[in-house]
Structure formats: C-alpha cells, structure tokens
Amino acid sequence: MYSYQHPHPAVSIDCAIFGLDEGELKVLLIERKHEPFKGRWALPGGFVEMDEDIDEAARRELEEETGVRKVFLEQVGAFGAPGRDPRERVITIAHLAIVNLHDHKVRAASDASEASWFPAAKPPALAFDHRKILEASLAKLRDKASREPLFVEFLPKRFTLTQLQHFYEVVLGEALDKRNFRKKIMSYGAIKELEAFEVGKAPRSARLHRFDSKAWTVLKKAGRSFAI
C-alpha cells in the first residue's frame, strides 16, 4: 500500500439540518458526548472513512447521530482553517440538509448525548467553527429558496397558500405582499389548486394546493427559475 511522505489532513463532514417547526426556521444540533467541546452544541458530523464517498459519509453521519435518513442533501463548501479542530489538522466538507418535520422524528445516537432543534438565526454557542458553517449554510438555503421550489422539502404535500407565503417570509427573512405573492407564485403554473380544504378550520377553511413537479421540469428546461 502506498504511503505519503508528507503530512496530510483528515477529512470530515458537518451537516446543517434545517426544518420548519411551529412556523420558525430551526436548525438541528447535537450535544457532544466526547471531547473536544464535550457538552457543547454542534452540527452533526464526523470523519470520512477511507473507502467512503463524501456524500455517503454525510448521510451515514446524519443517520448515526440523529436518526435522520433519506433527506435533501447538498454540499455547501469546504472549511479548513488551521486550528479549527484542536485534535489535528482537519478539513471539513459542509452540507446543507432539509428535514420535513411532518415525516421525520430525530433522536440522539452514536457520539451525541442529545439532538434538539434551535432557532437557526439564534443558535447557542457552537463548537469548532460551526457558527461560520451555519451562516454559510443559511446563505445557501436562502439563495436556493429564492430561485427554486425548495418549499417542497419543508411543507406537507398538500398546503395552503398562506403556509407557502409564510415559508418564504421565514426563510428569506422579509414580509411579502399577499396579493403580489399569490399572483406571482401561481403564474408559474406549477402550483395546482385542489378540491380540498384545511381540516378543522371552518367556517373559513383555506383551499389546499399541491406542487406539480412535471410542470416545474418544463419550466427548468425552458430556462426559467422559481424566483420570488
């Protein structure tokens, strides 16, 4: 087996996992069970194994530390400042993940004492350089949400236009005019009205809608975005 003559860094992954909880954008954090930073909150993550693809490592660590699997996952970037990990020279590949809280329940496992949701904009003090990673992940999330129908990863399959508008306001951090929002979102032709209404909201139950992925595929092929 070939052996490098020069020192080289270890590689890890860290995941910023977002979800909508009680109308607020939350990030999933784990309480570290071991040193360094024992007892501190951190993004779920760990070291990449020698025979493992980076994205495979991210999915494995997600499941091992939080019980979350089969979710939206995308790379954010690399973070490799010397000294970011007091154990050794470590370069981490940050990932953005999205959990639909209607479909997933989280649990602490592996080297995490606890897994819990926190407001993404106001997290507790984080271990390592995870605050920097979280901020970069939030920026990527907002950018993607402003151009693509990322709401399908957060909301139930049937949703109201009020829920949809609230998603954009929470993620983008700005209030939207109701009339203009609905006019624009419906103009894409990818939001379909259903012959169904919210349950238990009478006498003013809101109509439910669904996302038409085939219509969105046609829009993408035509070079359109889902800009809000």
CATH code at position 129:
3.90.79.10
Catalytic position from the list 35, 49, 56, 114: 114
Residue 172 burial class via C-beta count within 10 angstroms: exposed 0-12, middle 13-18, buried 19 and up: middle
* The dihedral sign for the CA sequence 177, 182, 187, 190: positive
Residue 114 annotated among the catalytic residues of the structure: yes
Cα separation, 12 vs 79, whole angstroms: 10
pLDDT beyond 60 at 108 = no
- Of the three residues 97, 129, 145, the one that is the final residue of a domain is 145
- Distance CA(20)–CA(27), nearest Å, equals 9
pLDDT on residue 203? 63
**CATH for 194:** 1.10.10.10
Distance CA 37, CA 188 (A): 48
**Are 138 and 166 part of one and the same domain?**
no
pLDDT for 106 equals 64
- Indicate whether 19 and 109 sit together in one domain: yes
97, 112, 145: which is the final residue of a domain? 145
Q: Tell me: do 79 and 168 sit in the same domain.
A: no
Q: Count the neighbouring beta carbons within 10 Å of the beta carbon of residue 102.
A: 11
Domain around 204: 150-221
Query: Is residue 226 one of the residues assigned to a domain?
Result: no
Q: In 69-212, where does DSSP find H-type helix? A: 130-145, 161-172, 178-187
Peptide bond into 124 cis (omega under 30): no
> What is the rounded average pLDDT of the residues 61-86?
89
Residue 5 belongs to a domain? no
Helix runs in the chain, H state only: 54-66, 130-145, 161-172, 178-187, 213-221
Closest by CA position to 172, among listed 139, 148, 211: 139
Residues 188 and 117 in one domain: no
Sign of CA pseudo-dihedral 41, 104, 19, 16: positive
For the chain, the domain total comes to: 2
4 located within any domain: no
Let me know if residue 58 belongs to a domain.
Answer: yes
| In a shared domain, residues 140 and 173 | no
**Which residue, of 108, 125, 145, is where some domain finishes?**
145
Please indicate, yes or no, whether residues 47 and 83 belong to a single structural domain of this protein.
yes
Shared domain for 170 and 126, answered yes or no, is no
pLDDT tens digits, one per residue of 159-183: 999 999 999 999 999 999 999 999 9
CA distances to 20, 36, 96, 202 from 119, rounded to whole Å, are: 10, 24, 16, 31
Q: What share of the chain is helix, strand, coil (3-state, %, to 5)?
A: 30, 30, 45
Query: DSSP code of 149?
Result: -
Q: What is the pLDDT of residue 103?
A: 67
For residue 134, tell me if it sits in a domain.
yes
Tokens standing for residue 198: 């919210």
The pLDDT tens digits for 16-33 are 999 998 789 999 999 998
The structure's pTM equals: 0.90
